């Protein structure tokens, strides 16, 4: 391959990665990633060396993340007060780190020297599925734009979500892309590659028709409050009364049994909030024969440690949930002796939270058992299922004002849709500026509030019982399937053969 050809392919790989973003919210063009990955697979198959495959994967990843996580710049610069050059550099290095995972996939795939096309396609799917999972656990994880999310809620491949989770969907997506690549390479003369491709999509569609969980009891009335407090005003003392009055008014106007506010809707420590304010909230919830979830900062041992916590008030006994999975550099500083200086650069209030326990149980609220997760936590499906199958509802409380008017809030909504599909549960999203929504057990948005408006979304939520395979087994099926495929790709008996097989 000439240097000119390599440069052209690297440029095209970058563009393919950027185009792949169209498969995710707010665009929802779920077939797009399948075809962009098919072209990347073709480049990998004709690549002469593992290093060139790694470069192709890296440029694809740079295109994907540079186009898809631009909201991070908004968080760092617009609201974190990081100087523009520093924010651009930080975003560049983050995208570079994330792009290492498709680069590693390409490198290993070529390094294995798999000749048999069918085995090559199986291995490609396994490697990408595992790399998406690996990205979710290294350095506390950043699984944003995991390929599988692009199939929520309408893509037939989304049918695999209740079985293997989002990373299993990624595996099936890349496997489909690799099979399409083989079909194009043989100019559709060898139809045997079409049969497994059709089988994957037909099985995915069939899985979508299965009712993995079943309704429990009568639907409950819910109100999801959206205060629309601008991020640059949220922590200002002169705006505190306005913020508290906004949520008090929205609460008192609701007649729902379950009222949910966003995370830290009251930007105070729990012990600083006037008791009369909390009593007013609790009295109203009791009048509705229900409960309200209110977000505040909890500092049980003074100010030496503090938690991002949701508190319940109303007819049920008082309960709370502390956020477990914190955002690096936003809610805690990793390796503080090395990165402690970041606190001085970023103007983020309370940027060193303590971590809640992973073993917290669902809250008993308004006759339902609600699995609460706070903001970024719903990106980690394997942590959400730790409160299941006991939970009958899921609730995500967020402050996506940090994303501004970017595509970030819509991408976050799609992530919540995937959690609903994996668990077979309704997901209730109460956010500060949007997207506040009611999502059913199939990942379909039933109602949503207009973003950047002060409003309450009133509706009904049906509790569900039972367990999907993913709830019971987590990522185990992904590891088993990927392991089998990788063994096949590693053994000479499968790797060998003729190139035309």
Handedness of CA 96, 97, 101, 106 (dihedral sign): positive
Q: Is 263 a catalytic residue?
A: yes
Catalytic residue selected from 323, 331, 377, 441: 323
Instruction: Work out the angle at residue 102's Cα, subtended by the Cα atoms of residues 101 and 105, and round it to the nearest 5 degrees.
Output: 90
Catalytic residue selected from 263, 331, 377, 422: 263
Q: How far apart are CA 425 and CA 438, in angstroms?
A: 11
- Distance in angstroms between the alpha carbons of the first and the last residue of the chain: 24
Burial of 361 (0-12, 13-18, 19+ CB in 10 A): middle
Quote the tokens at residue 361.
């149980």
Q: How far apart are CA 212 and CA 425, in angstroms?
A: 10
Q: How far apart are CA 159 and CA 408, in angstroms?
A: 24
Q: How far apart are CA 199 and CA 221, in angstroms?
A: 41
Q: How far apart are CA 142 and CA 149, in angstroms?
A: 14
In contact, 26 and 407? CB cutoff 8 Å: yes
Instruction: Work out the angle at residue 207's Cα, subtended by the Cα atoms of residues 203 and 210, and round it to the nearest 5 degrees.
Output: 145
Handedness of CA 169, 175, 179, 180 (dihedral sign): positive
Q: Is 190 a catalytic residue?
A: no
Q: How far apart are CA 461 and CA 37, in angstroms?
A: 37
In contact, 127 and 105? CB cutoff 8 Å: yes
- Return the percent helix, strand and coil in the chain, to nearest 5: 55, 15, 35
Residue 423 in 3-state DSSP? Answer: helix
Beta bridge partners of 226: 455
| Token pair 């007060």 in the structure block, residue | 81
What's the Rg (C-alpha) of the chain?
A: 24
Q: Is 41 a catalytic residue?
A: no
Q: Which residues of 286-307 are buried (b: 16+ CB within 10 A; e: fewer)?
A: eebebbbbbbbbbbeeeeeebb
Q: What is the dihedral of CA 207, 212, 218, 221, to 10 degrees?
A: -60
Catalytic residue selected from 41, 95, 181, 375: 375
Handedness of CA 258, 259, 261, 267 (dihedral sign): negative
The sheet that has 368-374: what strands, in order across it?
Answer: 363-365, 368-374, 393-398, 426-431, 437-439, 445-448
Tell me the longest C-alpha to C-alpha distance in the chain: 78
Residue 321 in 3-state DSSP? Answer: strand
The residues annotated as belonging to the active site are 263, 323, 375
């Amino acid at each position: 391959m000439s240097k000119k050809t390599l440069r052209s392919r690297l440029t095209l790989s970058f563009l393919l990665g950027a185009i792949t973003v169209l498969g995710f919210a707010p665009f929802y063009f779920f077939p797009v990633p399948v075809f962009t990955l098919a072209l990347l697979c073709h480049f990998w198959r004709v690549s002469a060396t593992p290093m060139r495959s790694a470069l192709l994967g890296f440029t694809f990843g740079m295109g994907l993340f540079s186009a898809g996580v631009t909201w991070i710049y908004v968080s760092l610069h617009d609201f974190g007060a990081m100087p523009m050059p520093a924010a651009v550099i930080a975003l560049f290095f983050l995208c570079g780190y994330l792009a290492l995972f498709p680069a590693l996939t390409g490198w290993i795939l070529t390094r294995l020297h798999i000749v048999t096309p069918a085995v090559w396609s199986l291995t490609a799917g396994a490697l990408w599925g595992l790399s998406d999972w690996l990205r979710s656990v290294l350095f506390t994880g950043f699984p944003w734009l995991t390929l599988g999310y692009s199939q929520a809620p309408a893509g037939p491949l989304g049918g695999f979500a209740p079985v293997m989770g989002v990373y299993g969907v990624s595996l099936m997506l890349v496997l489909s892309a690799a099979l399409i690549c083989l079909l194009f390479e043989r100019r559709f003369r060898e139809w045997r590659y079409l049969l497994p491709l059709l089988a994957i999509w037909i099985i995915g569609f069939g899985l979508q028709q299965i009712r993995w969980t079943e309704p429990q009891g009568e639907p409950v009335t819910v109100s999801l409050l959206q205060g629309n407090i601008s991020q640059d005003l949220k922590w200002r003392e002169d705006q505190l009364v306005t913020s508290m009055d906004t949520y008090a008014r929205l609460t008192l106007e609701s007649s729902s049994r379950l009222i949910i506010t966003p995370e830290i809707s009251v930007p105070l420590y729990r012990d600083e909030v006037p008791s009369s304010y909390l009593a007013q909230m609790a009295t109203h919830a009791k009048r509705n024969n229900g409960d309200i979830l209110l977000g505040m900062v909890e500092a049980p041992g003074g100010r030496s440690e503090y938690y991002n916590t949701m508190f319940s008030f109303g007819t049920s006994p008082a309960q709370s949930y502390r956020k477990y999975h914190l955002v690096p550099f936003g809610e805690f500083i990793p390796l503080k002796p090395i990165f402690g200086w970041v606190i001085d650069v970023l103007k983020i209030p309370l940027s060193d939270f303590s971590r809640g326990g992973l073993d917290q149980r669902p809250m008993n609220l308004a006759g339902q058992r609600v699995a609460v997760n706070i903001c970024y936590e719903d990106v980690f499906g394997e942590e959400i299922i730790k409160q299941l199958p006991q939970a009958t509802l899921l609730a995500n409380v967020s402050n996506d004002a940090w994303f501004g008017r970017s595509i970030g809030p819509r991408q976050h909504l799609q992530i919540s849709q995937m959690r609903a599909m994996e668990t077979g549960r309704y997901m209730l999203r109460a956010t500060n500026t949007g997207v506040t929504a009611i999502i059913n057990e199939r990942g379909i948005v039933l109602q949503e509030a207009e973003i950047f408006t002060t409003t309450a979304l009133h509706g009904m939520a049906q509790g569900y019982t039972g367990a999907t395979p993913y709830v019971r087994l987590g990522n185990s099926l992904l590891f088993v399937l990927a392991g089998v495929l990788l063994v096949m790709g590693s053994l000479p008996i499968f790797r060998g053969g003729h190139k035309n097989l």
